[in-house]
Amino acid sequence: MKITLDQAVSLLNGGLVVGIPTETVYGLAASINFPEAIGEIFRLKGRPSNNPLIVHVATVDEIAFYAKKIPPNFKELASAFWPGPMTLIIPIIEDNLPSIARAGLPTAGFRIPKPAITRELLKRTGPLVMPSANISGSPSATTAEHVEDDFGSGFSVLDGGQCDQGMESTILCWNHSAWSIIRLGALAPEDFLPTLGYTPKINDATEENQSMPLCPGQLYRHYSPIAKLHLLQNITLHDAVIIGFSDRIYPNASRVFLLGNSNDPAAAAHELYAILRTLDDEHIEQAFVDMNFPNHGLWLTLRERLLKASTA
Ligand code: TXA
Ligand code: MG
């Protein structure tokens, strides 16, 4: 059910959960002041309680109240990328942030989302926790309709149209002496080079490198449609459903879903989750993905999401 900005403000300030647009993906929002509403987010998504939520704020100054320590380059990163698709994990004063939101961790992730309507909302509600607005494990929602598909047509959603990026925020964590990436996202590792003077290392949560900080959510099944995805370098199959690129020809395909041009990773990021959801809407049992694309920039995020989505 589509609601107005005023309705969203009063529902959130009354302790209810609402779907909210961001430039990355839709979020399932609750006010930081209502731990019961935060519990409802975990229940609605079927999300494990040890998977923490990101705190969304309207201005960078609001973060000072929660922060135990502001790591080096925090301010430079904030002014270069906020509002925008970057989440920064920092140590927090535990008494100032409900334990349920951060899954008991002594750290929390913060982000200022981009859409004007969402920042106006945040000014009127204060900080909101928001995971992606999908059932845990499924592809993220990039339209208000996707949110209704997962949580029911009566579920309240503020409609902001299709998300600009269609891909989650890139999550950075301060790790002793440098920032590292604990979840690939809409910003590429090399995007941070001008601000940091180095390209942050990618910490894959599946590696057994316990000295590095972890992103708990990366350990779970994620982004997966019911359809089985097969990832291929070279597609020559007959009568198959293909997820591929508009500048390539798949002469024997029974159906082709287009990620856009093969030199445009932003277009592919924008389309990916909507395509994965369409497979299930149309009861397509399996699809073959054209993985013949580069190994750098935003393509890394796409590769990682497709790998996760293809692992049941
Ligand atoms: O773009 C986004 O980040 C979207 C929009 C709605 O803002 N939100 C989003 O939230 O993707 P979610 O909950 O689907 O993913 C957040 C990820 C999870 O994998 C979680 O484990 C990780 O962030 N995370 C949150 N707080 C953390 C912390 N203190 N330490 C490590 N990882 C954390
Ligand atoms: Mg998510």
pLDDT tens per residue across span 67-115: 999 999 999 999 999 999 999 999 999 999 999 999 999 999 999 999 9
For the chain, domain boundaries: 2-211, 228-310
Query: Ligand 1, from 54, 118, 210: best to mutate by most atoms within 8 Å of Cβ?
Result: 54
CA-nearest residue for atom 22, ligand 1, is 215
Query: What separation in Å is there between the alpha carbon of 88 and the centre of ligand 1?
Result: 10
Query: Ligand 1, from 132, 135, 180, 214: best to mutate by most atoms within 8 Å of Cβ?
Result: 132
What is the band of 205 on the pLDDT scale with cuts at 50, 70, 90? low
Query: In this structure, which topology does domain 228-310 adopt according to CATH?
Result: Rossmann fold (3.40.50)
Query: What separation in Å is there between the alpha carbon of 294 and the centre of ligand 1?
Result: 26
- Two domains, one topology: 2-211 and 228-310: no
Query: What separation in Å is there between the alpha carbon of 219 and the centre of ligand 1?
Result: 12
Cα 43 from Cα 128, distance rounded (Å) = 17
May I ask the CATH architecture of the domain 2-211?
Answer: Alpha-Beta Complex (3.90)
Reported as a single tens digit per residue, the pLDDT across 112-141 is: 999 999 999 999 999 999 999 999 999 999
CA-nearest residue for atom 10, ligand 1, is 131
CA-nearest residue for atom 28, ligand 1, is 108
